[in-house]
Chain A
Amino acid sequence: MPASQSAEDLAQQARFVFRGTVQKLRAATMEEVPTTDRTAVVHVDEIIHAPKLLSSYGDKDITVFLSDSSNVKEGDSWVFFTNPSVFGKSIAVESIGQHPVGPEMEALRATQTDPVKNLANRDMRNHLAESDLVILGQVVSVSLPQDQMSADQAGANTFLQPREHDPHWREAVIRIISVPQGRYAQKTIVVRFPGSNDILWAHIPKLQPGQEGYFILHRRRSSAPQKGKAQASKTRAKDRANYLLLHAEDFQSIHQPGGIQTILSATPSTKNT
């Protein structure tokens, strides 16, 4: 079995990683999945990381679409790096790689033996890495964005153009306690978040004055250079909020243990007070 990608690289791309024993080749646990040379019934011996809904598949047979079936034999044990693709009476997962069982499995577990927390921590580490700025702070105030208020005052009359997926932006002024990731020199920051309850935005945190915790921020793309006094005023209003909350995981209360706190604990922060 070629193992061209490292276990860690594969784990970064896979949602369901497990040690399993091949029960039967050219077979499936679901009628809906046509059997081919790539399909195999595999017994899940141990889950290394998994989303919650798949965490109960330990000690069960599932269908695996093998990435390479050339060296796989019935009775073999492998570490399978997979992504689920079919959910029926059973599940079928697409393998992006299989590695022989070995010490690298221990490294994949990291310090966490709970496969759900293991994946959640990996997801959070990736999310933090993709963010532009992480701050520890406290919400001082929440208001409508200035540019929206300006538009309303100018009689833009957008209220009869209701959109189900309108984000209904709000702006929060946050007093910065520290900057665990990234650089930000000011003592406060204005962050824009969607106030909407629509399916597209409902799960993104709705900030309220007094909330204290970690904010994972994403830079808002800047507007193109604009000329003229009115345009300059507009630009200044927009520039107040150059950072956005865009994901459900973008705020964690300081009172909530684990999660961001655990991951950031090893990272030196920049005191801002």
Chain B
Amino acid sequence: MVQVTVVNMIPQSLSGETNNDSEPNLTVNPVNPLQMAASAFTPNPAGAGDAPIFVSIDGGNTWFLQTIVPSDQMTADITLRFSGTNHLYAGIIRTPIQQDANGNLHPRLNILRSDNIQSGQKMKVLVDRTGAGVDQPYIQATSKNSGAGAAKDVVIVGDNDFNQPGGRTATMDVSVDAAAARPAFNKIDIDSRKPAIPSADAPSIRPAIHSDGTIYGAFLHTVGGSNLSNILRSVIVVRDDNWTMGANPFTALKDPSDGFAGRILVSNRLIPFLPPQGQPGPIGQERIGSHITIAVDPRPNESGSVYVAWADRVGTDDYTLHVRSSSDRGVTWSPNDLLTITNALNPALAINSDGLIGFLYQQYTGPLSPGIVTASNQWVTHLRLSADGINWNDLVLAQVPANAPSAMISPGVFGLPYLGDYLHLLTINKDFYGIFSANNTPNQSHFPNGVAYQRNHDFNTGRLLDMDGTSLVDISIDPFFFKVTP
């Protein structure tokens, strides 16, 4: 019997909030799984000061906000990860965006560390980079035993770094001793191919780490197109076999077609980057254009088993998820999709200690008319589980209206992202832990596997209530934590 827990993460003290808390991320301390940290586009409720993260110390049943991220009120991107030594790391786009010497404003990457998330102390800045701008840092961390010495924290941040030459922007920032007082980070360009046209890699650059030192990376390389609606990309997987400590990191996988590092899973895939400036999101008020995830089997001697999912367009208006796998360290890949999900985004893969594969995503249901959302449309958050990659069961975690709240924050201005450009799924031993953002209407029928709210609410009337317990609060987008024990 599968056990499912779903929790709305907004604390009771913020019952009056109506922010769009999208683009969530989650980490669970492998040393103490009762301790967790999470993030979203959640501003400091005080309207000033450092950005908050969500913290739980009771296994995710309750959450509180702690303002320890050195960014003005909120971040413009954030992902976070515990290592195996109780350190919390984060990759953020720090605000405010400051002018450079020429008056240009480019996103600023920070890589951060907290040695004790309950201390209340501000996270320490390990890397601070602006230059031409950096986007969407996505962090992974683990701890490796170095033989005789103590465990060392390995931290890898996949990011889209426009400081890289020639449009080969896919980057991994790696430290193999991130807990050191002044850790060194190595910036590695993982895209070996010069784009055929002036372009850049897509924003999503994703790492996956195995405890034997195998590290994979996945990204979307541009191969063609003439405008944002018809960009063609290849799905690329790179691999390193020794914690990136060799002379040429992330070059273990070569593609037979051109001999370059990075296996091409599929090529010439249409991945539109939409909406055009000033338009509403094309699917359920959400933008599209860069979704990819990668996961490696964490079991000993199974680092050759790796799964990738990405989104592209196969028809006229759709946005379709594809899942593929490799059992030989990324050399060959399943020729066909293990799963194909139409009109869906935010894919996240993870594999547990039994080799059970989890696939989390959000699917848009009802009629699809780009830019138009009606009451018949829903965002449905699925967790699919499979022991063999062929047969998948389906847990629906949330099925909520897609037309509310409106993304329009002022006349003609559609705030993006709506649900977020990513969410997250991870495993600790057999358990799957994840996070997603969704419409927060307290309606139990929206959560088929149950839900708990911390913020004031009335399930009978389906209404959110303010701190006084009576005043109504508008619905908004909230982060939801879940735990699934197969």
CA distance A52 to B46 in the complex (A): 8
A223 CB to closest chain B CB (Å) equals 5
Cβ contact within 8 Å between A167 and B278:
no
Cβ contact within 8 Å between B67 and A197:
no
CA distance A85 to B103 in the complex (A): 34
Cβ contact within 8 Å between B13 and A89:
yes
CA distance A56 to B55 in the complex (A): 23
Interface residues in B183-222 by Cβ distance below 8 A to A read: 197-200, 203, 222
Partner of A195, one of B17, B278, B414, B467: B278
CA distance A51 to B48 in the complex (A): 9
Partner of A88, one of B13, B101, B289: B13
Q: Is B135 an interface residue (CB 8 A)?
A: yes
Cβ contact within 8 Å between A199 and B417:
yes
Cβ contact within 8 Å between B410 and A56:
no
Of the candidates A88, A159, A164, the one having the most CB atoms from chain B within 10 angstroms of its own CB is A164
Interface residues in A150-182 by Cβ distance below 8 A to B read: 156-165, 167-168
Q: Is A72 an interface residue (CB 8 A)?
A: no
Which of B57-65, B254-262, B329-337, B341-349 contacts its partner? B57-65
Closest to B222 in A: A160
A29 CB to closest chain B CB (Å) equals 10
Cβ contact within 8 Å between B277 and A85:
no
Interface residues in B70-115 by Cβ distance below 8 A to A read: 76-77, 93, 95-97, 99-103, 105, 107
CA distance A91 to B167 in the complex (A): 47
CA distance A202 to B95 in the complex (A): 14
> A196 and B14 in contact (CB under 8 A), knowing A88-B62, A160-B225, A165-B107?
no
Q: Is A229 an interface residue (CB 8 A)?
A: no
> A165 and B414 in contact (CB under 8 A), knowing A54-B45, A87-B13, A223-B102?
no
CA distance A246 to B65 in the complex (A): 27
Number of inter-chain CB pairs below 8 Å: 164
Cβ contact within 8 Å between A86 and B133:
no
Q: Is B416 an interface residue (CB 8 A)?
A: yes
B350 CB to closest chain A CB (Å) equals 24
Interface residues as binary, B219-263 with A (CB distance below 8 Å gives 1, 0 otherwise): 000100101100100000000000000000000000000000000
Cβ contact within 8 Å between B415 and A221:
no
Cβ contact within 8 Å between B415 and A16:
no
Cβ contact within 8 Å between B228 and A159:
yes
Q: Which A residues are CB-close (under 8 A) to B225? A: 160
CA distance A89 to B44 in the complex (A): 16
Cβ contact within 8 Å between A87 and B198:
no
Cβ contact within 8 Å between B57 and A202:
no
Closest to B22 in A: A199
Cβ contact within 8 Å between B76 and A196:
no
Cβ contact within 8 Å between B45 and A53:
yes
Cβ contact within 8 Å between A200 and B76:
yes
CA distance A246 to B44 in the complex (A): 19
Q: Which A residues are CB-close (under 8 A) to B414? A: 197, 202
Closest to B200 in A: A161
CA distance A196 to B105 in the complex (A): 13
B230 CB to closest chain A CB (Å) equals 10
Q: Is A30 an interface residue (CB 8 A)?
A: yes
- Provide 27 A-B residue pairs closer than 8 Å at the C-beta atoms, listed in order of the A residue: A15-B46, A30-B64, A32-B118, A51-B45, A83-B48, A85-B67, A86-B65, A87-B14, A88-B63, A89-B13, A89-B62, A123-B47, A156-B198, A159-B228, A160-B200, A162-B289, A163-B135, A164-B135, A164-B290, A165-B76, A165-B107, A197-B277, A199-B23, A199-B417, A202-B413, A206-B413, A246-B96
